[in-house]
A and B are shown apart, each in its own frame.
Chain A
Amino acid sequence: MDVLSSLMDGFATALTPMNLLYALIGVILGTAVGVLPGIGPAMTVALLLPVATVLEPTSAFIMFAGIYYGGMFGGSTTSILLNTPGESSSVITAIEGNLMAKAGKAAQALATAAIGSFVAGAIGTSLLVVFAPIVVQFAVSLGAPSYFAIMVLALLAVTAVLGSSKLRGFASLGLGLAIGLVGLDFVSGQARLTFGLPLLSDGLDVVVIAVAIFAVGEALWVAAHLRRTPLQIIPVGRPWMGKEDWKRSWKPWLRGTAFGFPFGALPAGGAEIPTFLSYVTEKRLSKHPEEFGKGAIEGVAGPEAANNAAAAGTLTPMLALGLPTNATAAVMLAAFTQFGIQPGPLLFQNEGPLVWALIASLFIGNFLLLLVNLPLAPVWAKLLQLPRPYLYAGILFFATLGAYSVNLQAFDLMLLLVLGALGFMMRRYGLPVLPLILGVILGPRLEKQLRQALQLSAGDVSGLWSEPIAVVVYVIVALVLLWPLAARLWRARRPRTGGLVVADGPAVDGPAGPAAAPSVEAPAVEGRPVDGSAAEAPADRGPDAGRHRADAHANHGQEKS
């Protein structure tokens, strides 16, 4: 099979000393930003985009892959030691893992999270190797109408399913599409939304947009709401696990992986639903259900594996179709365009060596992470003592530097400030940022497919559904849009049934998990348990439900940027 030989070639590329070094840099950076609150893998990749353009694309992506996986590992460390989940997907790890840590089992919690992440990462990446070429094979046979339909699905799914308010999701999407319009129309060559400024005729640089929204907007937002009370950190030694812990962990790891990968691969699956499903499953299957809500190792092992497997799953549509479904994947996709590489089904064909080296580096990075994380957890914990002024000033400093160095013009910095202010405003008023960034990236491609599709049909609108796959996708789009309505009707008719799902969730037994997850409205407010006792369940979705007491919330279904 030539997949295997391609993968071997990928390993050969990724294992050169230079690329190994970039993998190591990526892994260390990724873990560091995962540990630090307020800065995440998407922001880091965005900040590195300008610098990375001078590297070989392969090396740059190997580094980005390390950051992507490293962010997950690092995030679980903070979640367990501090109980401050940065992403909605690590809420459960934060709750159950923090309870374990408080019960004096921090070392075991960290170990099961790290080893589980490794196992899930390895299996997930293997599944990526198997499935991505199949998806590509299927996708290359598709024409413009099907592509257009799939892109519409991806945009709508991310906008309508993730995040707590669909209306605000669509507003964000609209803004993103509008930003994507700026520049010369690629067919007629007419300037759109440039206001006569020649600097705008090439469109807005994706790097500047990504840095502005993810780094500047986030830094300003955090600065406006700086937490002033020092958090309590649980001291740790080196993570380790006993025989009993292994026995209780390995099955949850595998089951978590099985939940995580498919959800990650779906256009709007995300990582929080599988982590939640994994938690519920483990609780039901466990021989120690009474420990759940007090720090059960299965409750850390399963969700953490699900989280990482979902991360691997996300890469399937990203590499095979050019469709990103989370913020980091979106920024990595922007990186492809920055290097002049066209994302999409032809990626495997045109850039085979790069893609396979990237995938091989995922295996390597995953392994390096295990090596770096198990012995160094106490060192990572020390990072948390970095004073915030330096952290956030540093983000602004490097954001400015990066955005400026792309074109060396102060005009880009003005854009950075304006778009950063937009990012601030969006965070303030609950407009999710992911639809905006997807709109910017996918908008122009969407338009291209639309025009191609209708060109084929000579302007006949029915050309849009001239392919069977397109029809199927539109049916799914309709389902995605109508599902919440149907669910509401169904629930109205049987009021108790809807509540049952919630009652199954961890909300009842202590940690308030994303109990709202199975309903299509994404998890709303994840309460942080006060000393392990029950926190507010997110069932009530009033505007301020639990907002002020809860320390840990969902990020509108997005990962920490």
Chain B
Amino acid sequence: MTSLASRLKGRSELGVAALLGAVGALVLIDAARLVVPYSQSDPVGPKTLPIIVGGLLLVCAVLLAVNVLRGGRGEAEAGEDVDLTHPSDWKTVLPLAGAFIANILLIDWAGWVISGTVLFWGSVWALGSRHYVRDGLISLALALLTFYGFYLGLGIALPAGLLEGIL
């Protein structure tokens, strides 16, 4: 067991294989439920592609798992502004996702101006800016500007929410 444990250590990529496998299984299970009416005009039917795709995903899942256990590793994507010398910084990503979720929860109830302000302010904070007042002003300005820009310029009425009647 210890050897298994040591092999699993640092192999978080197995999670990707598991995800691929799960999606593949899901696609196949879903395909199995489909009814194939006999039809002259559609000999392929709705099942064929899902079965191929599900199969492809399962094969990829197995091969990836084998590849990872043998020491293979996916190269993390580099970029102009990416520094791969330190590990993923969850202290930035999680608050960022938090701001994003806050926006989802708020947008229909409180309206875009409030939720958008929260989103931008929260994101900027998560990314390390500490100019609370300046950031707050910028966030509010952006949210207001896009609200009216979309309404007047594009004819799209974003939800006003709590501020209904004020805006």
Residues in A lying within 8 Å of B, measured CB to CB: 37-38, 51, 54, 78, 82, 84-86, 164-165, 167-168, 170-171, 173-175, 177-178, 181, 185, 187-188, 190, 192-193, 216, 218-229, 387-390, 392-394, 396-397, 400-401, 404-405, 408, 410, 413-414, 417, 420-421, 424-431, 443, 446-447, 450-451, 454-455, 458-459, 524-525, 543-544, 547-548, 550, 552-556, 560
Contacts and interface: CB of A to CB of B under 8 A. Distances in A.
Given A226-B89, A397-B123, A171 B57 contact: yes
B150 A405 contact: yes
A226 B92 contact: yes
10 contacts: A171-B61, A174-B56, A187-B42, A225-B89, A397-B123, A404-B158, A424-B93, A446-B49, A455-B43, A547-B75
Interface-central residue, A82, A216, A219, A410, by most chain B CB under 10 Å = A410
Given A225-B88, A226-B83, A413 B103 contact: yes
B41 A455 contact: yes
A84 B120 CA distance: 27
Contacts of B13: 429
Nearest to A458: B43
Interface of B: 13, 16, 19-20, 23-24, 26-27, 30-31, 34-37, 40-46, 48-50, 53-54, 56-57, 60-61, 63-64, 67, 71-86, 88-90, 92-93, 96-97, 99-101, 103-104, 107-108, 112, 116, 119-120, 123-129, 138, 142, 146, 150, 154-156, 158-159
A187 B30 CA distance: 17
Contacts of B90: 224
Contact of B81 (A165, A187, A388): A388
A545 B41 CA distance: 54
Nearest to B128: A389
Contacts of B116: 397, 400-401
Contacts of B129: 387, 389-390
A477 to B, nearest CB: 15
Contact of B79 (A165, A190, A390, A560): A560
Contacts of A430: 73-77
A413 B100 CA distance: 9
A166 to B, nearest CB: 10
Given A224-B90, A397-B120, A178 B84 contact: no
B66 to A, nearest CB: 9
Contacts of B35: 188, 190
B90 to A, nearest CB: 7
B46 A190 contact: yes
A428 B36 CA distance: 39
B83 A390 contact: no
Given A170-B56, A390-B129, A410-B104, A181 B74 contact: no
Contacts of B96: 219-220, 223, 396
A417 B24 contact: no
Given A393-B123, A397-B116, A400-B100, A167 B83 contact: no
Given A167-B63, A543-B75, A174 B81 contact: no
Contact of A224 (B34, B41, B45, B93): B93
Given A181-B50, A450-B44, A51 B23 contact: no
A397 B139 CA distance: 10
Contact of A547 (B24, B84, B146): B84
Nearest to B27: A178
